[in-house]
A = this chain, B = another copy of it.
Amino acid sequence: MTEASITDTITPASQEKLKQTIAAIERLEEDKAGISADIAAKYAEAKAFGFDVGILREIIKRRKKDRQEIEEKEMLLDTYLAALDG
C-alpha cells in the first residue's frame, strides 16, 4: 500500500524550498569531499615521510575511541543513577 498520491502536486513554495535544500546539501557534500581529500593528502604525506599509514590510522582510531569511552562512562553512570531514581 504505497502512498504515491498524497501530494502529486507540489506547491511553488515547497518546490523552491526543495531546490534550496538540495543546493545546500550538495554544497556541504562538496566541502566534505574536500576535507576527505585533505585527510588523504595528509596520510600520503606521512607515508612519504616514512610513517606506517596503517599504524597512524590505528592510533587516531584509538584516540577517538578513548574520547568516546569517557563520554560513555558518563552516560553509563547516568543510566545507573536514573535507575536508582526510578
Q: What is the interface of chain A, defined by CB distance below 8 A to chain B?
A: 1, 5-6, 9, 14, 17-18, 21-22, 24-26, 28-29, 31-32, 35-36, 38-39, 42-43, 45-46, 49-52, 54-56, 58-60, 62-64, 69, 72, 76, 79-84, 86
Contact = CB atoms under 8 A, between A and B. Distances in A.
Given A60-B25, A60-B26, A72-B1, A54 B39 contact: no
Nearest to A7: B50
How many copies, total? 4
Interface SS of chain A: helix
Contacts of A14: 49-51
Nearest to A86: B52
A59 B25 CA distance: 11
